[in-house]
Amino acid sequence: MKLGYDMNVQHPITDDLLMGYATGGLPAAQDLIVATAVSLDDEARARLAGFDALGGALLEDAEPMPVADGALNNVLERLAASAPEDSVHADIKTARRDWVLPRPLRDAVGGDLDAVRWKSVGMGVKQCVIDSSPDGTVRLLSIPAGQAMPDHGHGGSEITLVLQGAYLDGDLRFARGDVEVASEGDEHMPVADLGEDCICLVVTDAPLRFTGLVPRIAQKFLRI
């Protein structure tokens, strides 16, 4: 198993998602997958910082507006009760451990992989829905090594980030840190690579359409 955070990502997250995160224009469901992917890919982290710098340039350019009377005093009073955020030491410790789930995902799940409350959805596939709202569903999927995902098309976009193991999709192999974006209408059949179960974070913004009968039943349980 390849863990750690300085990895050689083959299929990096795309610029439009990074820029969407930088501008604050993404739906909440996609913010989590971007923050998690960036945690695993230093090159993406640097690209995101470039888009942040663009935001900084626009902030610098914005016309200053007078602040409320007493704003500074108000803030100074609040500082007295505001301890520095204790994440320096925490981060040093966490970096030395090989987490499977990067921090934004650990925060969402309430711990690392052992804290995930999986639900079996048949055929050995397990899922855990982290969040579901009108603008998207975020779930963890676990697919047994060597097994295919049900054949499916998409009613909307689907963003997949691999956290453990790998899967094959046609000629392409997606491993930890890799991101695949499938659009509306794409049909594909990812197969978990041999070796270990493949665990992915998947964001969909509309239900998936499974094409076979058995998968149609699975869809009821998966609710994707």
Partner 1 sequence: PFQTTDDAYWSRQLVAVGQERDKHAFEALFRQFAPRIKGFLMRTGLSPAMAEDCMQDVMVTLWRKAHMYDPARATVTTWVFTIARNRKIDMIRKARRPEPEDLPWGPEPEPEQADALALQEDTRRLAEAVAQLPDKQRKLLERAYFGDVTHSEIAAETGLPLGTIKSRIRLAIDRLRHAME
Site for partner 1, rule CB under 8 A: 5-6, 14-16, 19-20, 22-26, 28, 31-32, 35-36, 38-39, 42-43, 45-68, 71-72, 74-76, 78-79, 82-85, 87-88, 91-92, 94-95, 102-104, 107-108
3-class SS at 203? strand
Question: Which of 107, 186 has the CB closer to Zn ion?
Answer: 186
Q: How far apart are CA 37 and CA 161, in angstroms?
A: 7
Q: How far apart are CA 52 and CA 12, in angstroms?
A: 18
Q: How far apart are CA 193 and CA 196, in angstroms?
A: 7
Contact partners, residue 124, CB within 8 Å, separation at least 6: 143, 144, 147
In angstroms, what is the minimal distance from the CB of 139 to Zn ion?
Answer: 12
* Of residues 216, 209, 215, 224, the one with CA closest to residue 154: 209
Return the percent helix, strand and coil in the chain, to nearest 5. 35, 25, 40
Residue written as token pair 């520095």 = 84
182 makes contact with Zn ion (CB under 5 A): yes
Question: Which of 1, 62 has the CB closer to partner 1?
Answer: 62
182's contact among Zn ion, partner 1, none, with CB below 5 to 8 A by partner kind, is: Zn ion
158's contact among partner 1, Zn ion, none, with CB below 5 to 8 A by partner kind, is: Zn ion
* Among the residue ranges 55-63, 70-78, 134-142, 178-186, the one whose residues contact Zn ion (CB under 5 A): 178-186
Q: Which of 158, 178, 193, 205 binds Zn ion (CB under 5 A)?
A: 158
In angstroms, what is the minimal distance from the CB of 52 to Zn ion?
Answer: 24
In angstroms, what is the minimal distance from the CB of 189 to Zn ion?
Answer: 8
162 makes contact with Zn ion (CB under 5 A): no
Element holding 18 (H helix, E strand): helix 15-23
- Catalog residues that contact Zn ion under the rule CB under 5 A: 158, 182
